[in-house]
Chains A and B, each alone.
Chain A
């Protein structure tokens, strides 16, 4: 079955380190998204991509970057991790335009000490 996976599921890192969270989907969806989930805020959009080599900033993009070199993967990089980036991160994908729904990965819990 097609699916969307994230790795690692849990990560502990130190302030200032570079961290990359992986997201892989096998649906061949064009659109992919990264969200962070914090108490009291629901999910907030970090970055999104409409296809290979396309990336766009979401509402909380500072300190994060993404790159899209193929359809299946959208890695999220924290260039210099900060304690404020401790959160649960979700990747999602959607086939394209129209009424298609975003489907979410299982999430990555990141702790920055």
Chain B
């Protein structure tokens, strides 16, 4: 079974600085997808960024980028120029590409932005 581990329950960063959230996962599969979701106080789960395992190039979405290390099974999220609106819980998630729709989530990292 796949597992996703987020070892940082809480992180904080000064506004305008850069922060990196860690995620590791365990799988025996070679074809899968990885996601970062943001959950602000409103509780809505918002997709931040997505990475296909077969793509070597790291995904980027504006100020958000990932460092995907397939061999190490690591998928970290880097937030550049942190803004107050980035404060939220961030969840890393895994999905197999072999007909299984299940999203496996990590336990989350609470990110605080310090003005």
Contacts and interface: CB of A to CB of B under 8 A. Distances in A.
Nearest to B44: A106
Interface in A55-113: 58-59, 88, 90, 92, 94, 99, 101-107, 109
Interface of B: 4, 33, 35, 37, 42-47, 50, 52, 91, 93, 101-103, 105-108
A40 B107 contact: yes
B47 A99 contact: no
Contact of B47 (A41, A90, A101): A101
A58 B102 contact: yes
A90 B45 contact: yes
B91 A42 contact: yes
Contact of A48 (B45, B101, B106): B101
Interface in A29-54: 31, 33, 35, 40-45, 48, 50
